[in-house]
Amino acid sequence: MLKRLFPHPWLSAVLLVCWVLLMNDVSPGNLLLGAVLGIVIAFCIGEGLWLQPVRFGKPWLLLRLFGHVLVDIVVANVEVALLVLGPTKRLRPAFIEVPLDSTHEIALTALISIVSLSPGTLCAELSDDRTRLIVHVLDLADEAALVASIKSRYEAPLLEIFAC
């Protein structure tokens, strides 16, 4: 009975806290309105909008992936700075297609974020069937090497981390 009235209690609680923080008021009326909104919104969302459950296969790999991403961002910042400060004729912008092995929402979101955070690359599109990622590259020297690098440095660890 309680589960039917409060289908997602944690979401309702988070929405209540967000409401109070946005309103910057902890009055009883504001708390009541926030609680009602949190319950109604959580009830109306339904089960169709929830992501797949997250299962961590090897969470310790997250530290290694974080290290790779951090190093790659620093190196890419230096490379992009040198490219931008140099003659623009040297730039070789291109769109590349990266085939994907995962369709897990969280892993794909993390991969898209990582690629977009790296200076010089930007995810332009995820195919409708979630099998290809279109990436814009500021300076493309070797497409196959870049695709292999994205798959081995980012996608492979994400597949292991999220047990996809």
Q: How far apart are CA 77 and CA 84, in angstroms?
A: 10
Residue 71: C-alpha distances to residues 17, 74, 112 (Å):
36, 5, 17
pLDDT attached to residue 121: 93
Cβ pair 143, 96 in contact under 8 A: yes
Nearest residue to 99 via CA among 152, 162, 164, 163: 152
**7-21, 38-52, 54-68, 117-131, range with the lowest pLDDT:** 38-52
Pairing of strands 94-99, 121-126: unpaired
- Of residues 93, 78, 157, 80, the one with CA closest to residue 124: 93
Cα within 13 Å of Cα(83), Cβ side: 18
Can you give the C-alpha Rg of the chain in angstroms? 21
0.75 surpassed by pTM: no
Distance separating alpha carbons of residues 15 and 49, to the nearest angstrom = 16
Please give the pLDDT value at position 86. 83
Q: What is the mean pLDDT of residues 88-110?
A: 88
Residue 89: predicted pLDDT:
78
Residue 142: the pLDDT is 92
Q: Where are the domains positioned within the chain?
A: 2-45, 61-161
**Whole-number pLDDT of residue 155:** 93
Q: What is the pLDDT of residue 83?
A: 87
User: Mean pLDDT across the chain, nearest whole number?
Assistant: 86
Q: Is 106 in contact with 54 (CB distance < 8 Å)?
A: yes
Which residues does 59 contact at the CB level (< 8 Å), separation at least 6?
161
* Class of CATH domain 61-161: alpha beta
